[in-house]
A and B are shown apart, each in its own frame.
Chain A
Amino acid sequence: MSMINYASREINCKIVYYGPGLGGKTTNLEHVYGKVKPETRGKLISLATETERTLFFDFLPVDLGTIRGFKTRFHLYTVPGQVYYNASRKLILKNVDGIVFVGDSQAERMEANLESMQNLYDNMAEYGYDLTQMPFVIQYNKRDLPNAAPIEDLQAALNPGWEVEDATKHRVQPDPYHAGQNLVEQVAGGEWVERAPYFEAIAVNGDGVFDTLKAVSKLVLKALA
Chain B
Amino acid sequence: MTAGTTNWSFTQDDFTAITESLKRFLGETKSLCALLVDRSGQLVTTVGDSPGLDTTAFATLTAADYSANDQLAKLVGENDFSSLFHQGEKESIYVADIARRLLLVIIFDSRTTVGLVRLRMKDEVEELTLLIDRVFSRGRNGAAPAEHLLKGADDEIDKLFNW
Residues on A facing B (Cβ under 8 Å): 1-8, 11-12, 14, 42-43, 45, 47, 56-57, 59, 61, 64-65, 67-68, 70, 72, 75, 87-88, 91-92, 94-97, 124, 127, 129-131, 133-135, 214, 217-225
Given contacts A6-B10, A91-B71, list 5 more A-B pairs with CB under 8 A: A1-B6, A5-B44, A45-B60, A56-B68, A68-B149
Partner of A4 from the list B12, B61, B146, B156 (CB cut-off 8 Å) is: B146
Partner of B5 from the list A75, A97, A222 (CB cut-off 8 Å) is: A97
Interface check B158, CB cutoff 8 A = yes
Quick one: closest B residue to A70, CB to CB? B149
| Tally of A-B Cβ pairs under 8 angstroms | 144
CA of A48 to CA of B122, assembled, Å = 35
Q: Cβ of A2 and Cβ of B152 under 8 Å apart?
A: no
Which residues of chain A are near B9, meaning CB under 8 Å?
3-6
Residues on B facing A (Cβ under 8 Å): 1-12, 15, 38-42, 44-45, 54, 56-57, 60-61, 64, 67-68, 71, 145-146, 149-154, 156-158, 160-161, 163
CA of A64 to CA of B162, assembled, Å = 11
Q: Cβ of A1 and Cβ of B152 under 8 Å apart?
A: no
Q: Cβ of A95 and Cβ of B11 under 8 Å apart?
A: no
Partner of B1 from the list A88, A92, A222 (CB cut-off 8 Å) is: A222
Which residues of chain A are near B149, meaning CB under 8 Å?
4, 11, 68, 70, 224
| In the complex with contacts A133-B2, A222-B154, A65-B45 CB distance below 8 A | no
